[in-house]
Structure formats: structure tokens, C-alpha cells
Amino acid sequence: MIRVLRARLQQGYQTSTRPVDALQLPERFRGRPDVVPSLCKEGCRACADACPTEAIKLRPLRLDLGACLFCGACQDACPTGAVRFTNDHRLSVRGREDLVLEGKELPLARSLDARMRRLFGRSLKLRQVSAGGCNGCEAELVALGNVVFDLGRFGIQFVASPRHADGIVVTGPVTENMEAALRETYAAVPPPRIVIAVGACAISGGPFAGSEAARGSLPPDIPVDLYIAGCPPHPLTVSDGLLRLVGQLERRDARRQVEEEIRAETLEWGARRANAELRAVGVDAGKGIPGRPNRGNGKAT
Amino acid sequence: MADAIAAVSEGQRTAAAFRNGTAFLTGDIPTVDPEGLRQEALARCRDGGRIVAFFALPRAGSDAGHDVFLVVAEDGLSSLRVLRTRLLPGNSLPSLSAELAQAQAFERELHELHGLSIVGHPWLKSLRNHPDLVGRSGNGSQSGVHPFFQVRGPGIHEVAVGPVHAGIIEPGHFRFQCHGEEVLSLEIHLGYQHRGAEPLFLRSSPARRLVIAESIAGDTAIGHASAYCMAMEGLGGASLPLSAHSLRGIALELERLANHIGDLGALAGDVAYLPGASYFGRLRGNFLNLLMELSGNRYGRGLLSVGGVRLGLDAAMRKSFLERLRKDESELKAVADLMFDTPSVLSRFEHTGVVAMQTARDLGLVGPVARASGLQRDVRHDHPAGIFRFAHIPVTVATSGDVMARALVRWLEVQRSLTFVQEQIGELPEGPLAAKVEAALPNRMVVALVEGWRGEIAHVAVTDEKGQLRGYKIVDPSFHNWFGLSMTLRGNQISDFPLCNKSFNLSYAGHDL
């Protein structure tokens, strides 16, 4: 027993406490690419030729994150830095076309509508279906349950039966041999239900796009509510996407904004009072006590 | 080709001997008749050989039949014996399976992929079951509607599991024939993950081939990418800088560390030993994170290129890696000491899911699963290539063949790999990270073997007279090992299945391709 306790002390507290959207991954981590079409040289197609999955289209430069494997080959090939990978891990969107980067910002996923948020905002149970996944995405979804990422603390859980689930998380290029099982699983989830496509394979076929043995994406009668890009997406990418979908990040940001407003108003009121008192007793307060604090960079800390 | 060690016939034996990763002329492969192939395979495997690959390539021209190639490894001699037979339409292949059980899945694959007639196979049941496979015998889009081996009698019942399982896991179907709790037979039907990787591979660009290799089994991205790169480098006759070999070795062992540690955590979880599950689960992530800092991806994707590696380690990273590895090592030891000293864990691990050494040999098992049953089998030692020609990792063997042995082999290998990675990082050579690789030579074959964390990964590439890829065969270690899992359940309780399954932790995608 003493040894169990000693090991427990050595292990310490490991759960990541910073908000999932504010964590910084290492410099080499290839997250959201920056795409700057204006830097392209006339007639150059180095990045498109280097891309293994034809995720890049030219004139103007467009990069489809749904097909991107984040391998970095385009960045290595580009002579001008028009494609450059950042370590930003936030890669979840609501619409398939939102995944196409062409110099504008990636429109990160908005939350579900009010009714769905009311149902799933605090408790979301998901059934995972691997439909040809290579165990990369699956392994990262499993990792969400470990003590570091601990998705359960946000009320999101993977469950054993589709009957207990509010939606499905699909990985893999939807092989022909899994299509029937995928449909049956989807049908077994009681509506309203949500569908989340995780990883390049489920979104575009990924490395297996064009294979005769796989569809290369979810069938149209299984409409997707959230696309999470990556190969595989980092666990933080997935949790960021899920929390955005159920509105937890919005709710947190809204609460934080209200708190900040109240704090600022309080400080301003206090400073006014203090300056008035100082003037009343004839003390020269110079420029006075500063009021509204600096808003900072708006980044969650 | 000068690299052929010997192409002489030894009495009845004709197969030429080649080395891991070195290309040879396809013309140097002896061609025998189908019965000759069978005799030689049986003789070689009786003498300690084992099947690495057994596959067919269609011959150019319609109705020209097939070339069937057999690759047998002689581990003690570090040599690979290769043999070919030509089958014209209408010809058949005498089956090896009745006498050489390890051939059974290969022969089912030959039948399913090419429609070859295999005479005397006990049951040419569909292996992957898909319309793109010509000789398929099942129904493509229906899940779980295959014929299964059945046991009949009073009190016998059947349990069907999958393809969609309870956890976050790949799909496969498990059919148990039980008498009460006791399992009389477990049949594993896969194929749900079949993505058509091999035909897609052949018609893809080199850049796409690399990412397909990385996705054969996503938890083995480094292992399969290493085998692919080795095959291409062998065909082009490239010589890599030492730093590239070393970094590939570091990445391969980091991959092994992450997966073995994850498996130890999963095994702990399955016997409800939560400290082990939580701590190993977290420590696994530390090794994925090291791979991410090296390669930009938690699974090492994007690190390897044909000719070398794309990223190295500077002095500051080496220092930080070494510090973290030392810390992880001490934390791992504390958790492992705790777990392997806990009676409730040991009582569940010991004598559960035993695979006898002879069974492991008959089935041609590979990797930690084979070593846990007492077989000295490790590509890093038996067929060393790359950095393993210069730096050696001792082969870890246990004898009891149970879940305990499979857990212990993993833990011992974790320690060996930790030492290796620290040594390699400590003395990482300077210099270029990659060499230029020339175009593949025509009419060549290369067999590239890599000891992935699950065992032997084999990629066999064959070029045509223009130097284009004519065939590419991928054998994931899981292809050899799935049948081993079936054997663990015979005569055991069905409730031990999850634990036995975890102790194998095989790849569905790697098997299904």
C-alpha cells in the first residue's frame, strides 16, 4: 500500500488544466497551415506536385484541409513560404467547404443550435465507428480518455452501445465492407443525433482516396455535423472541436467576457471615486489612478 | 547480382539465398514446378525456416497465368530463401496448409486475390471478402454472414461479437463456440478494414506510396514507412548516411516504446488495476510526444523519406530528450515494479491464454507474441539492417507463453529500447540526413524486413523490365499472428477473451490492407 501511495506521489497531478484551445504544442508540430496565395510565383506548382493527396489546387492557391495529411511536403517544396505549417491545433469546422483554405481565416466550428445545445451541451455520449481507420485516429480518440486529456470532465464520453449514444464518431475511408455496419450503427442511435467525421480518411479518403474498396467519405444520407481535420488529429484538436460543437468554449468565452466587463466597470468606478476623493482632500493625483485595465491580447490563459 | 549469398543447389534444395534489404535479379530466383515449391517449403520450414511471404503476380499478357513467389526466412543464417513457380491458367497449386499451418492464410489470400486453385487446403474461406478480390466466396456488403466452423451437441452455444465492438477499436468479427463458459473454438473473421491498399499502392505516385505505407497500420507508421523506404533504397542501390540510420532506429524504438507501454496500461486496465492503467497510459503519451517533437506528428508521420529522414535532432533537443527519457525511465520502473508485484494482477496474467512454443512455431507467429512463447525471433537480431547492423538490442524471450509472458516481454523490451534510444541520442552522428536514391533497377526483387513493435513487417517489391513496380506485397505481423489469438482461447473461459486480445493487440487494418 505504501508503494502504491509512493507511486501516486511520484506520478503527481497530470491532467492538463489549461483550456484546450489555448495550449501550445511544440514548434515542429504541424497544425493549421498558413496559406498566402499572394506569395505564389507565376507558374509555380511545386506544392501541388509534392502533395501526396492532391489537396492543393492552384490559381489561386487553395489547400483542402479535408484531404491534407499534414505531412509537410508542400512546405518543403514551396520556394516562397506561401504554405507554412503553424502549430495551431484548432482544426474543426462545421461545413465541408470550410476546410478549404485560400488565404482567409479557418472558420472554426460554431456550436449546435440552441435546442441541440440544450440536449448535448453538458452531456454528450458518442459511439465510435472505425470504417477502415488505420488505428491512428482510433488511438487518439482512446487517448482522450487518459488522465492528461480526460475528456470525461467536460461531460463527453464514448459509450459501448449506439442505443446509449447521442451521435457517432466515424474514422477511416468508409470501406465497402464496413458500410453496412456503419449504417446499422447510425440507424441504432436515437435521433436527434450528431455525426462527427474525424481524420482525413473519413473526410476525403485521405491516403486511400480513389481506392475501389472504399467510398472515401461518409455517404450523403449520413450528414456530418463536425469535421475534424488531421492525420490523425491531435487529441487536443478533437477535444477543441467537440467543445466548440457543444458550445462549451462559447459559453466559457461569453462568461469570461461578462466577467471582464464587470471587472473593468468596477475598476473604472473605483478609480473615479478614488480620484474624486483625492481631489476633494486637495491631493494632486497627477494623471490619477488608471481606470479600465489593459484588455491584453484577448487570448485565454 | 553479387549480393546473392549463394544460388547453388544443395541436392534437392534449390532456393536462392538473399539478404534483407538487398535487391537481386528476378532471374536469379530459381523456378520450380508447383510440387517442387511445396516440397522445398516443407523441407525448409522443417529445418527451422518460416514463411515470410507467399504471393502471386499476374504475368504480362492476358491468360499468361501467374508467378507465385515464396519467401522463407532462415533466421539463424540471416538469409532469405526465395523460390518461384509459374502457374498457367488451369494449373493448380498443391496446398501446404495441412502440413504447414502457417501457410493457411497465405493460401486463402492467393485464392481470393487471384482465383488460384489451391488443392488440398482444408477450407479456402474468404479472408477479406470484397468484390475487388476475384476468388471471394462470401457476400461483400453484409456484415457477419459468412459460414463459420460450428460445434454441435447438447449445451453448445455460439457467441458472435463484432464487427462494431464496445470500445474504440477497429472492426472484426469473433465467433465463439462455447460449452458454458468454456470456449471450444474461436474463429476470427476479418476483412472489414480492407481498403485495397496494395492495388492502390501500385498505381500511385511515389509520394502517395509513402503515405499509404504510413497508413497500413497507423500505430506502426514508422515501421511500415521504414520497410517501404528500405525496399525503394534497395531497388535504387542507395547507401544512407549513418545519421539517417540512427534517427530511423530512434524513431522505430520510440514507436515500440509508446505501443508497448500503452499495451501494459491496457492490460492493467483489463484486470482492473487502475494505477497501471492510468500511469502507463500517460507515460505512453510521453513517448508519442517525443516522436512529435522529432517529427511534427505524434505517430512519426512525415519523418521518413526515401533516402533518409527529413528532420534531425539539434544539441538542445538531444539534451532535452535525454533528460526526459531518464525521468520517464525511473517513473516506468516504479509503475512496472508495482504492477508485476501485485498479486491480483499476477493471478489474472499467469496461466491465462497459453500459446505453447510448438504452436507458435507451427503458426509462424512473430514479434513479442512469438518471443513470449520461447521463440528467438527478432528481425533486428536475425536479419539486421540499418542501424541494427552496428548497434544491437538483445532478444528478449520468455517461456510460459501466457498473458504474463507477453506482458513481461513487452516490459523487458521497453527497458532494452530505452537503453538503445539513449545511447543513439547520446552519440548521434553529424552529417547529412539523407542520400539521393537513384531510380529503381529493372527486373529486381527486394525483401525489406523491419521488426515493428508487433513483429516482422515484410515489404516485397518487384520491378519490371523498365524499372517500374510490377508488384508490391505487404505482410503486416498481424497477418501471421491472428490465428495465435484463436489458440489462446481453446479450452479457456470466454471471459478471458478481452485480456488475451489485449495481450496480442493485433492490427485489423494491417491484416486487411
What are the tens digits of pLDDT across the range A24-74?
888 899 999 999 988 998 889 999 999 999 999 998 899 999 999 999 999
Contact call for A134 and B509, based on CB within 8 A = yes
Q: Residue A201: which residues within 8 A CB-CB, separation 6 or more?
A: A132, A133, A134, A137, A171, A172, A173, A207, A208, A231, B215
Rounded to two decimals, the pTM is: 0.90
Instruction: Return mean pLDDT, chain A.
Output: 88
Question: How many A×B Cβ pairs under 8 Å?
Answer: 206
Of the residues A178, A196, A201, the best mutation for testing chain B's interface (the one with the most B CB atoms within 10 Å of its CB) is A178
Contact call for B164 and A173, based on CB within 8 A = no
- Residue A4 C-alpha, separation from nearest chain B C-alpha, in angstroms: 7
CB atoms within 10 A of CB A36: 16
Q: Say what the pLDDT of residue B141 is.
A: 40
Contact call for A7 and B140, based on CB within 8 A = no
Contact call for B297 and A70, based on CB within 8 A = yes
Contact call for A133 and B218, based on CB within 8 A = yes
Phi, psi of B471 (to 5 degrees): -155, 150
Contact call for A177 and B143, based on CB within 8 A = yes
In chain B, which residues have their Cβ closer than 8 Å to the Cβ of A201?
A: 215
Give yes or no for A158 touching B (CB within 8 A).
yes
Phi, psi of B221 (to 5 degrees): -60, -45
Burial, A287: exposed, middle or buried (Cβ in 10 Å; 0-12, 13-18, 19+)?
Answer: exposed
How far is it, in rounded angstroms, from Cα A96 to Cα B225? 30
How far is it, in rounded angstroms, from Cα B486 to Cα A244? 43
ipTM summary value? 0.89
Give yes or no for A231 touching B (CB within 8 A).
yes
Q: If pLDDT is split at 50, 70 and 90, which confidence band does A301 have? A: very low
Low-confidence ranges of chain B (pLDDT < 50): 1-12, 137-144
Give the residue from chain B lying closest to A210, CA to CA.
Answer: B200
The DSSP secondary structure of B261-309, one letter per residue, reads HHHHHHHHHHTT-HHHHHHHHHHHHHHHHHHHHHHSSTT-TT-EETTEE
**Percentage, residues of chain A above pLDDT 70:** 94
Give yes or no for B259 touching A (CB within 8 A).
no
Q: Say what the pLDDT of residue A287 is.
A: 62
How far is it, in rounded angstroms, from Cα B391 to Cα B381? 10
Of the residues A32, A177, A182, A201, the best mutation for testing chain B's interface (the one with the most B CB atoms within 10 Å of its CB) is A177
How far is it, in rounded angstroms, from Cα B279 to Cα B265? 7
What are the tens digits of pLDDT across the range A117-134?
888 888 999 999 999 999
β-bridge partners, B325: none
- At B391 the three-state DSSP class reads coil
Q: If pLDDT is split at 50, 70 and 90, which confidence band does A290 have? A: low
How far is it, in rounded angstroms, from Cα A202 to Cα A133? 8
Contact call for A135 and B217, based on CB within 8 A = yes
Fold for B16-119, please state it: Beta Polymerase; domain 2 (3.30.460)
Give yes or no for B134 touching A (CB within 8 A).
no
What are the tens digits of pLDDT across the range A198-239?
999 999 999 999 998 899 999 999 999 999 999 999 999 999
How far is it, in rounded angstroms, from Cα A155 to Cα A167? 14
Q: Where are the domains of chain B?
A: 16-119, 197-512
Contact call for A207 and B208, based on CB within 8 A = yes
Q: If pLDDT is split at 50, 70 and 90, which confidence band does A256 have? A: confident
How far is it, in rounded angstroms, from Cα B239 to Cα B21? 11
Give yes or no for A69 touching B (CB within 8 A).
yes
Fold for B197-512, please state it: Cytochrome-c3 Hydrogenase; chain B (1.10.645)
- Residue A191 C-alpha, separation from nearest chain B C-alpha, in angstroms: 20
Give the residue from chain A lying closest to B144, CA to CA.
Answer: A181
